[in-house]
Amino acid sequence: MKKANKLLMYFRKGSILKVNNQTRFHEMERRIRLKTLNPHITCKICRGYLIDATTVIECLHTFCKSCLVKHLEDNNTCPTCEIVIHQSHPLQYISYDRTMQDIVYKLVPNLQQNEIRRERDFYKRRGMPYPKIIPNNCIEKEAGSQSSSSKVEDCDYHRSDEQVNILLEAQSSALKQMRRKFIRCSAQVTVTHLKKFIAKKVFNNMDKYREVDILCNEEILGKDHTLKFVCVTRWRFKDPPLKLYYRPRLDLT
Ligand SMILES: [Zn+2]
Ligand SMILES: [Zn+2]
């Protein structure tokens, strides 16, 4: 594959050592060849490192987005395990895997910078504006420098996350309705984020977010659920938008 195979990666790892029957954490440095990780961070279709990592929701196998979408033009099965993803709409049951892509970009030197450079050239040659947000310093950085993924995180504001469409309505007249009920936001947003948003809009005070319950299919949602989790577990076979209701919190104690 690529030259990066030969590079050695360093991981700081807290490993557990047993000393005199006492278990304690000991920080050590372990060297791992990138080659040993390759089966986990490469695409089975093109055999390159994952780009726009996209996962089949049913079996959790991951491929490059473009490779998988192309495969699904003529098939409805997972290229790895051949499970039927969906009889007629397999594209609706795959999902951008930001965590996996972050891992790949962190592990493989310069992959992200090279990919952005390639995309920019693609649009430039066609005289089209580059449609994505360019991460800080990603282009200017020379080969061999450290990845700037923390900066990427900072300037991106989750715009490149998978997005979800939600409809947010007050369940009763106890709380006022949103002026704008249809919202599009990152699938990483948690129920608590959403409560803070509602508190800001309804009470004009974000600190009152604990006074709100959010429900999906009549069920109160846990505060740490992400909208991705809610979609997959509560709205899987329904059409978007994901319908959520809010109401004053019921104190059961
Ligand atoms: Zn691929
Ligand atoms: Zn599969």
pLDDT tens figures, 193-221: 999 999 999 999 999 999 999 999 999 99
d(CA 115, CA 112): 5
Cα of 66 from ligand 2 centre, angstroms: 16
Own/partner contacts of 65-72, CB < 8 Å, gap of 24 or more, are: 65/96, 67/43, 68/94, 71/45
Ligand nearest to the CA of 61: 2
Q: Beta-carbon neighbour count of residue 12 at 10 Å?
A: 8
Note the ligand closest to the C-alpha atom of 84. 2
Which pTM was predicted? 0.48
The ligand placed nearest to the CA atom of residue 58 is 2
Most confident residue range from 3-12, 17-26, 152-161, 240-249: 240-249
The C-alpha atoms of residue 189 and residue 228 are separated, in whole angstroms, by 8
Structural contact between residues 70 and 94, judged by C-beta atoms closer than 8 angstroms:
no
CA of 53 to the centre of ligand 2 (A): 14
How does pLDDT run across 37-51, given as a tens digit for each residue?
999 999 999 999 999
Centre a 10 Å sphere on the Cβ of residue 103 and count the other Cβ atoms it contains: 16
CA of 76 to the centre of ligand 2 (A): 11
Which residues are within 5 Å of ligand 2 (an ion), measured at CB?
Answer: 59, 61, 78, 80-81
Distance from residue 251's CA to the centre of ligand 2 (Å): 44
Structure tokens at 105: 């970009």
Place of tokens 């962190």: 106
d(CA 165, ligand 2 centre) in Å:
26
Question: Is beta strand 242-248 parallel, antiparallel or unpaired with respect to 163-170?
Answer: parallel
Closest-lying ligand to the alpha carbon of 50?
1
| pLDDT (0 to 100) of residue 139 | 53
Are 207 and 220 spatial neighbours (Cβ–Cβ below 8 Å)? no
Token pair recorded at residue 28 = 């050590």
The total of other beta-carbon atoms located within 10 Å of residue 95's CB is 18
Radius of gyration (C-alpha) of the chain in whole angstroms: 22
Query: Considering every ligand atom, which ligand is closest to the CA of 45?
Result: 1
Distance CA 165, CA 2 (A): 39
Token pair listed for 189: 């947003």
112 CA from centroid of ligand 2 (Å): 26
Question: In angstroms, what is the span from residue 228 Cα to ligand 2's centroid?
Answer: 20
